[in-house]
Amino acid sequence: MRSRLIAARLVLCLFFVYVFFLCYRPVIFAQQESPTAIPSINLIASPNEFDFEKAYRDYVQVYNSYVQAHKEYLLAKNQYEAYKTLTAKTIALEQTIRMLQSRDEVIAAFLITLRAKLAEETNIASSKLNVLYLLLDEEITWYRQHRETLTSAGTIPDLIKISNLAQSRYNRTESYIYQSLLEMFLYKEDIFQDLVARQIEVIDDKIIEIRNRADKDTSTIERWLLEAKNRKSRSEEKFSELKSYTITEKLKSSEKNHSFNGSVYVIEQGHQYLKETLGALIEIVKEIKRGD
């Protein structure tokens, strides 16, 4: 009977210890060098170590952590503004640091993802792209360093000052993001333009061959080819319009988002003409296959 009582007490004690460890959360102090609660996967690896898929997965994970941290920051901020107690203030400081660190990680993770995509899609070593790689790397380094400085803030005004540095820096970062995206899209479109131009040449040669053999009437397909070439010219016009657009300057302005969307719209228009060109070429081939 006595041994049963001791066993029951032991089980109860173990249960309480288990519950305690379940509920325990380490307190993160602002002065602490590296808070353990914040994941820092993207800040350990160098940008070159990632392929796009992995980089994107990590970015999504970091972004989700940021969303959670931001919610907690808003809650702590509201409580501090409402009650103005010392406890609320300390919690607000801690949660703000956590959110800002998470924010820096999101930006760095996004830049790494973009860099990986740029490398994967373009796969060339043009001077323009090399410049972009350098700019993106510089930004990644800046946000890593900025994340570390956040822990040195002892008060909320200090923290806001450090946060404002990132705010003004992000203006520049965003412009590099848009530049990188546009360069990537233009590069892709350049490849498509070349491929379509090559197909036009092949079909042109084939039509000349058929005309010389005189075993099929080529008047219709020649007219269609002319139409296809016209559409291709329109597509080229769109791209030359975009290249002479001084995109880089516009992307540095305050209306960079608007400018980026406008440029993407022009690319899409050019791409549409390219698709129409290809549609016409497919029809020409079908007509060649058809008897008179």
Contact positions vs other proteins (CB under 8 A): 56, 63, 66, 70, 77, 80-81, 84, 92, 96, 99-100, 103, 106-107, 110, 113-114, 117, 155-157, 159-160, 163-164, 166-167, 170, 174, 177, 181, 185, 188, 192, 195-196, 199, 202-203, 206, 210, 215-216, 264, 267-268, 271, 274-275, 278-279, 281-282, 285, 288-292
Sequence-distant (6+) residues with CB within 8 A of 51 are 116, 120
Whole-number minimum distance, CB 291 to other proteins, in Å? Answer: 4
Between residues 192 and 224, which has the closer beta carbon with respect to other proteins?
A: 192
Whole-number minimum distance, CB 173 to other proteins, in Å? Answer: 8
Between residues 5 and 82, which has the closer beta carbon with respect to other proteins?
A: 82
Q: Which string of DSSP letters, residue by residue, matches 203-263?
A: HHHHHHHHHHHTSS--HHHHHHHHHHHHHHHHHHHHHHHHHTT-HHHHHHSTTHHHHHHHH
- Between CA 138 and CA 103 the distance in angstroms is 17
Between residues 33 and 215, which has the closer beta carbon with respect to other proteins?
A: 215
Between residues 10 and 41, which has the closer beta carbon with respect to other proteins?
A: 41
Sequence-distant (6+) residues with CB within 8 A of 30 are 93, 94, 97, 151, 153, 154
Whole-number minimum distance, CB 24 to other proteins, in Å? Answer: 29
Whole-number minimum distance, CB 113 to other proteins, in Å? Answer: 8
Between residues 13 and 261, which has the closer beta carbon with respect to other proteins?
A: 261
- Residue length, the chain? 292
The CA-based angle 231-236-240, given to 5 degrees, is 150
Q: Which amino acid would we find at residue 31?
A: Q
Sequence-distant (6+) residues with CB within 8 A of 43 are 105, 108, 144, 147
Q: Is 102 in contact with 63 (CB distance < 8 Å)? A: no
- Between CA 51 and CA 32 the distance in angstroms is 33
Whole-number minimum distance, CB 32 to other proteins, in Å? Answer: 20
Between residues 40 and 79, which has the closer beta carbon with respect to other proteins?
A: 79
- Between CA 31 and CA 152 the distance in angstroms is 6
Between residues 14 and 219, which has the closer beta carbon with respect to other proteins?
A: 219
Q: Is 182 in contact with 251 (CB distance < 8 Å)? A: yes
Whole-number minimum distance, CB 48 to other proteins, in Å? Answer: 19
Between residues 25 and 273, which has the closer beta carbon with respect to other proteins?
A: 273
Whole-number minimum distance, CB 202 to other proteins, in Å? Answer: 6
Whole-number minimum distance, CB 25 to other proteins, in Å? Answer: 23
Sign of torsion over alpha carbons 115, 120, 125, 129 = negative
Sequence-distant (6+) residues with CB within 8 A of 252 are 175
